[in-house]
Amino acid sequence: MKSSRKASASTRSPRYVAYQCLIGWAKGGIFAETLIARYAVELPSHDRALVQAIVLGTLRNMRWLEHICHTLRPAYLESNAKWLILSGLCQLFVLKQAEHAAVAETVSVAPAKWRGLVNGILRNAVRRRSEFEAELPHLSLGVRYSAPDWLVERWVNEFGAGEAEQMLAWNVQTPPVYVRLNPLHPIDIPTEWEPLPQASGWYKLPSGIPFDALKAGQVYVADPSTRYCIELLAPQKGERILDACAAPGGKSAAMIATTAGDIHLLATDSAPHRLEQLKENLLRAGGQDVQVLCHDWTTPCPASMKAAFDAVLLDVPCSNSGVLQRRVDARWRMQPAEFSRLARLQSDILEQACMAVRPGGRLVYSTCSIDSQEDRQVVDAFLLRHPEFSLSHDYLALPHREKADGAYAALLLRSV
């Protein structure tokens, strides 16, 4: 009975839950955040936070932790044992937890057959800690900053070695929580919220999401980089506006806030199951004339939408190369061929959505990618096919410069 109670307690440990999340992630097909939400749902909030820190910290620093693991144990390791060891190394080297607690608690959730192995490797890591930390600056960029070598090479070629390294360094940091205030629903701003000097109405939070303020429509959780496409579009009161790839609705909500709700907004998305939540989010934000509709913009523009809008916001699906700090899965799921595939998809969507812009109207093409193949190259190819549109200006937000997510936005004007 005693051992049964001990086993039961270990399976409720946040370190055990984190280990199960990592095993599930390694099987493929499920995002890390989804696994954390699924496995940690019944844990107290402080334990959920530890699960998230271990899982995301391990994936964000995976190549460096694998390097340490392989140095300590060059021989073959079963996959599940490796993930448990990597989670322990994350606690030691990334989260900087107390050595005894990190080692002992990780060993306690290991199956009996691996306990000696896990204990030996982690204790050896503690003994050689200064050696591993001293060699870190001398490792290859891909290992040092845990990114695929092909992506490192791509960034070095596009941005130069210095810029590439700064972006890679930015991406292994833990992202903060940002909120945008909604002037339609004022809030007493907590003193611990830090205003962003470069982004009026935006705040950096010291801890988790303010759910009460979020439910009341007083704030929207988003990254400050999302403001660029809204600033370029410059929605005006009374305008008819289309947000073509809208869910979950953050950019539509920003347009509502900018115009005090005085716009005629149609928000479309290709996934029917997202529409109810999308409309709820926009009504909570203060939208007065809001419609939602399911439409896939790789298919022809509906006749009822042709030349019907003063402004169109087109935030297309992309590689997420600008948000690798926040979306830890993306760097491991991306493949070089994806950029060409996505550029074709983006071009197809732009080809149809542009038809919704009235003569004299405007369209903003937006991505959360920093890769030119998905950004300026898509825009330039579009302009060659559509002389009725012209590029007013565009903006590339590089994450290490912005101290926020990376993004791209281009303002296209349709002639009268």
Contact present, 266 and 302 (Cβ < 8 Å): no
- Work out whether strand 219-221 and strand 389-397 pair parallel, antiparallel, or are unpaired: unpaired
pLDDT range class, residue 11, cuts 50, 70, 90: low
CA distance 116 to 62: 23
Catalytic residues: 368
User: Which strands make up the sheet holding 240-243, listed edge to edge?
Assistant: 289-294, 264-269, 240-243, 309-315, 357-367, 407-414, 389-397
Quick one: pLDDT band at residue 10, thresholds 50, 70, 90? low
Tell me the pLDDT tens digit for each residue of 91-149: 999 999 999 999 999 999 999 999 999 999 999 999 999 999 999 999 999 999 999 99
Q: What percent of the chain has pLDDT over 90?
A: 94
What pTM was computed for the model? 0.92
pLDDT tens profile 149-190 = 999 999 999 999 999 999 999 999 999 999 999 999 999 999
Distance CA 371, CA 360 (A): 29
Span 296-312, average pLDDT: 97
Starting from the edge strand earliest in sequence, which strands make up the sheet with 194-195, in order? 194-195, 202-205, 177-181, 219-221
| pLDDT at position 2 over 50 | no
